[in-house]
Structure 1
Amino acid sequence: DAYYKKAQKVRTVITKEVEKVLNDVDLLITPVSPHVAIKLGEKNDDPLAMYLEDIYMSTAALSGVPGLSIPAGFAHNMPVGLQIMGKQLDEASVLSVAHQYEKATDWTEKFPLL
Structure 2
Amino acid sequence: MPQRSIPPRVLDDAAFPLRVKLHVPALGLGPVLIEILRWLRSEVGEANFAHHEADSLETEALAVYFRRSDHLLSFLQAFPDLQLADETNSPGYRNPKTLRRLQGQRVRGAFSSSG
Normalized against structure 2, the TM-score is what?
0.28
Normalized against structure 1, the TM-score is what?
0.28
